[in-house]
Amino acid sequence: MKTKLIAALAVLVVLFALGFRIGHPQDGLESAMGSAKSSLVIYKHSGSYSIGQKVVVDVAGQGMETGVIKSASTESVDVDTRAAFIRVNQKDVRGKLIVVIPFFGYIFSVVGL
């Protein structure tokens, strides 16, 4: 049991060092398993983003959201979230959406994260 826990921790440290992050979005795209608010997302920062990519963005006053890029320039990206079509600066794009983990967001909601 102890070796499995150490191995899992080592894998998480390596993934973190490679740029992968875990987040709890406040709104955004829904999956077949539920809303973005009830999920956790794994994302990775990238220097460039293109049309059609699913991304995680910081929206002023609302927090982290997930969406699909509809247009991109060197300064900003237009993102289609579940509720709105928004324009954010390139620096407010946290990264490309890799995986959505359903239901674990409920635990973070109860804790207040």
Structure tokens that stand for 85 in this block: 């079509």
Q: Minimal CA–CA distance to 54: which of 12, 39, 62?
A: 39
Average pLDDT in the chain: 84
Provide the percentage of residues in the chain whose pLDDT is more than 90. Answer: 29
Question: Is pLDDT at 112 greater than 70 in this prediction?
Answer: no
Q: What is the pLDDT of residues 32-57, one digit of tens each?
A: 666 777 788 899 988 788 899 999 99
Q: Delineate the domains of the chain, giving CATH numbers in brackets.
A: 20-112 (2.10.109)
- The verdict on pTM exceeding 0.85 is no
Q: CA–CA separation, 71 vs 78, rounded Å?
A: 5
Query: Which of 13-37 are b and which e, b meaning 16 or more Cβ less than 10 Å from the residue's Cβ?
Result: eeeeeeebeebbbebbbeeeeeebb
Q: What is the pLDDT of residues 63-86, one digit of tens each?
A: 888 999 999 888 889 999 877 888
Identify any residues that bridge with 76 across adjacent strands, giving them in sequence order: 89
Q: What is the pLDDT of residue 106?
A: 63
Q: Is 48 helix (H, G, I), strand (E, B) or coil?
A: coil
